[in-house]
Structure 1
Amino acid sequence: MINSKILKWVLFLILGGAVAFAGVLYYVGFFSSSAYFSTDEGAIRGYDTVAYFTESKPVKGAKEYTTNWNNADWYFSSKENLVLFKQNPEKYAPQYGGYCAYALAHKHVANTDPEAWKIVDDRLYLNYNKGVQEKWSKDIPGFIKKADDYWPESTPAQRLN
C-alpha cells in the first residue's frame, strides 16, 4: 500500500511538471497559429525587420508603424520601412519564422534575441543569443542547410494541424 502523503507529493510533482512544460511550449510558440516567433511585443520582439537591411543594425519599432502579416504583428521604426515591408514581406521577414537558426539546425525550436542576427545571401537569420550565434558562425552554410531541411517539419503552425 502506498503512503497517501507520498502519493500526493508524486501527483503534485507530476502536475507541476506538466504545467511547467506547457509554459515552456507556450513560450517557444508551440501553440501559436503564426509561423513566426512572436511575443506580446510582436514579431522579433517588436524590432524593425527592415532596419536590419537598411541600417545594418537592430532598431526597435514603433506602435504607430505596425502591420499584421502571417498572424504576427510587425513593428517598424519609420513609415518608409513599413511600406517596404508591405511591398515584399518575404524579402524582409526573418528565415525560419524568426526562430533560432542554430537550434533548427539541431532539430529544435527556440526563441530568439533581436540582437543576435546576421544577413546571409540577403536573408535575415536570428539566433537565441550572441553565444549561440557565435557557435552558428563557425559553419553558417552547414547550419543553414540543416535548418532548411528541418524547418518545414517543425513550424509551429504545422504542428497544430
Structure 2
Amino acid sequence: MALAVLLITAGVPAAAGPSAATIELLALEGFDPVSYFLKEGPQAGAARFELSWGGKVWRFASGADRAAFRDNPEVYAPRLGGFDAAGILDGRLVDADPLVFAVIGERLYLFRDAERRARFLAEPELVRRAEAAWPDLQGQLDVPIRDAPR
C-alpha cells in the first residue's frame, strides 16, 4: 500500500506556497487627480478609466485625463504622498480628506480638515517646510511612490 501511495504522489507537483498578492488601494477615494486642476474641481473617476501607479489605482473622469496623468503623474498626483500636509510637518503620516485640498504653486496638497488647509494658505512657508520633511517620512511607506504608470 505504501508503495502505491508513493508511486501515485511521485508525479504530482508539490502544492504551491501562498502567492504574494499585491493589493493596490484606490487613490483619492476614486476622485480624478487631473480634475483638481480644472475649473469644475474634483470629479469622480470611473473604473473604465483607471491605471496603476505608485502602488495605488487611480481613476479618471475621462480617457483624456487618464492619458494626461499617465504621461506625467508627478504633476497631477497629490504631493506628500497624498497625506495631510500639516501631519507631515508634525512628523506623522496622517490620512487626508480628498475633498479638502489646495493647489499651491501648481501642485496638489491634501488636508485632514479645513482648519489645516486654511493654515497652509495663510502661511505659504509651511508648504516648503512640509516638502523638506517629506523625504524623512517616505521610509514609513509600504510601497514606493514612484513607478511607471500601467
Same fold (TM over 0.5): yes
Task: Quote how far apart the aligned CAs of 1:108 are.
Answer: 1.8
Secondary structure of 1:59's aligned partner: coil
Provide the TM-score with structure 1 as the length reference. Answer: 0.68
1:66 corresponding residue in structure 2: 50
2:107 paired with 1:111: no
1:101 corresponding residue in structure 2: 85
2:60 corresponding residue in structure 1: 76
2:126 paired with 1:143: yes
Provide the TM-score with structure 2 as the length reference. Answer: 0.73
Task: Quote how far apart the aligned CAs of 1:130 are.
Answer: 1.8
1:30 corresponding residue in structure 2: none
1:152 corresponding residue in structure 2: 135
Secondary structure of 2:70's aligned partner: helix
Secondary structure of 1:63's aligned partner: strand
**What are structure 1's unaligned runs of at least 5 residues?**
1-32
2:17 corresponding residue in structure 1: none
Instruction: Calculate the aligned-residue CA RMSD, in Å.
Output: 2.3
Is the contact made by 2:94 and 2:112 (CA closer than 8 Å) also made in structure 1? yes
Is the contact made by 1:102 and 1:127 (CA closer than 8 Å) also made in structure 2? yes
Task: Quote how far apart the aligned CAs of 1:54 are.
Answer: 2.4
Within the candidate set 118, 121, 124, 2:105 is matched to: 121
Secondary structure of 1:107's aligned partner: coil
More helix by share: 1
Is the contact made by 1:107 and 1:150 (CA closer than 8 Å) also made in structure 2? yes
**Match for 2:103: what amino acid?**
I
Cα distance 1:158–1:149, how it changes in 2: closer, same or farther (>3 A)? farther
Is the contact made by 2:54 and 2:143 (CA closer than 8 Å) also made in structure 1? no
1:36-59 alpha-carbon deviations (Å, 9 max, x no partner): xx85xx111111000011235111
- Tell which structure's C-alpha radius of gyration is larger: 2
Q: Percent identity?
A: 27
Within-5 A mapping of 1:8-47:
39=25, 42-47=26-31
**Match for 2:79: what amino acid?**
Q
2:114 corresponding residue in structure 1: 130
Is the contact made by 2:97 and 2:111 (CA closer than 8 Å) also made in structure 1? yes
**Match for 1:117: what amino acid?**
F
**Match for 1:151: what amino acid?**
W
Q: How many residues align?
A: 122
Task: Quote how far apart the aligned CAs of 1:135 are.
Answer: 2.5
The 4+ residue runs of structure 1 with deviation greater than 3 A are: none
